[in-house]
Amino acid sequence: MLFLVQVGFAQSTLDRSIEVSVTEVQEDLNYLSSDELAGRNTGTEGIEKAAVYIEKHFSDLGIKPYFETYRDNYTIGEKKAFNVVGLLKGTDEDLKDEYILIGAHYDHIGNGKEVDGDVIANGANDNAAGTVGVMHLAKHLAEIGANKRSVIFALFSGEEMGLKGSEHLAGKLKMEGVDLYTMINLEMIGVPMKAKDYQAYITGFERSNLAEKFNEYSAGDKVLGFLPQAGQMNLFKRSDNYPFYKEFKVPSQTICTFDFSNYPYYHHVDDEAEFLDAGHMASLIENLIPGLHKMSNTAEKEIKMTE
């Protein structure tokens, strides 16, 4: 089954239909949250298997490693860890050295409180879902091509240990002098929101014009919206967008559909693929593509901080 979205905005840069396969989304979600990966705790065999899976996906798409390999190695104490980082190079000589970073954490907590003999915290929504989102955005942005700015796709480990992977990569890119335009982070996108006039919320809504411009780029559709609880719970500082904001002071925000009322299995052993909605995920991924593609092609940096 395929969801089909007709993209009608900015026809000069994106004039084709975008199709995201629900079946492929489900397959990726099933594997990344399977018992075989044992909860993808940083530094374990399970997260190694997840990394190999993501690397093959990037390689098959022709997305090159950002560094010498896809792995961005670092340590947490004595624990060896790594992010997985790919690059879709920009096509415009003047804009290719400006970067959009699309990321998500692919680690989880490993084991959780036992329920009916199950101790594996599979982390389907947290955050195999966001990881799958990045993988499929990478697929379709690579297929579309013609992105004037360069796009980095980064999957972070160490998030559950205190945003360690994103802190490492943000600091590394800052030291290299990378001209970062925006950082878009996907976190827990596996279930739809209820009774909202938008599809997903962004953290730090008031800090930039990202939602306003993104919805404009998406033919006026309200893809991104404001969730009051996100500010009340300080979610802006609680995911992998925040280290990039701290280092670069550019729009760096998380897209999420989990609002603590629409899914009961946060950090729970029942956070498994069978309880997520792959159709919703495919639809959201499709609706993110026009905005991201337009961001990569505007002549000027139109997404700006407002505070």
Assess if residue 93 is contained within a domain: yes
Cβ atoms 88, 63 nearer than 8 A: yes
Cβ atoms 245, 252 nearer than 8 A: yes
Domain extent at residue 99: 19-295
Cβ atoms 106, 33 nearer than 8 A: no
Assess if residue 14 is contained within a domain: no
What are the beta bridge partners of residue 104?
155
Assess if residue 4 is contained within a domain: no
- Six-digit token string for 76: 């947490």
Per residue, what are the HEC states of 121-134?
CCCHHHHHHHHHHH
Does the pLDDT of residue 4 top 80, yes or no? Answer: no
Residue-wise pLDDT for 20-77, tens only, equals: 999 999 999 999 999 999 999 999 999 999 999 999 999 999 999 999 999 999 999 9
Per residue, what are the HEC states of 101-170?
EEEEECCECCEEEEECCEEECCCHHHHHHHHHHHHHHHHHHHHHCCCCCEEEEEEECCHHHCCHHHHHHH
Lowest mean pLDDT among 91-105, 193-207, 210-224, 248-262: 210-224
Instruction: Tell me what pLDDT residue 219 has.
Output: 81
Does the pLDDT of residue 2 top 60, yes or no? Answer: no
Assess if residue 3 is contained within a domain: no
pTM score, whole prediction: 0.95
Mean pLDDT (the chain) is 94
Say which CATH number the domain at 247 has.
3.40.630.10
Assess if residue 9 is contained within a domain: no
Distance CA 134, CA 101 (A): 10
Rounded (5°) CA angle 98-210-71: 45
Does the pLDDT of residue 9 top 60, yes or no? Answer: no
Assess if residue 201 is contained within a domain: yes
Domain count, the chain: 1
Residue-wise pLDDT for 65-77, tens only, equals: 999 999 999 999 9
DSSP SS3 for 294: helix
Assess if residue 180 is contained within a domain: yes
Assess if residue 10 is contained within a domain: no
Does the pLDDT of residue 199 top 50, yes or no? Answer: yes
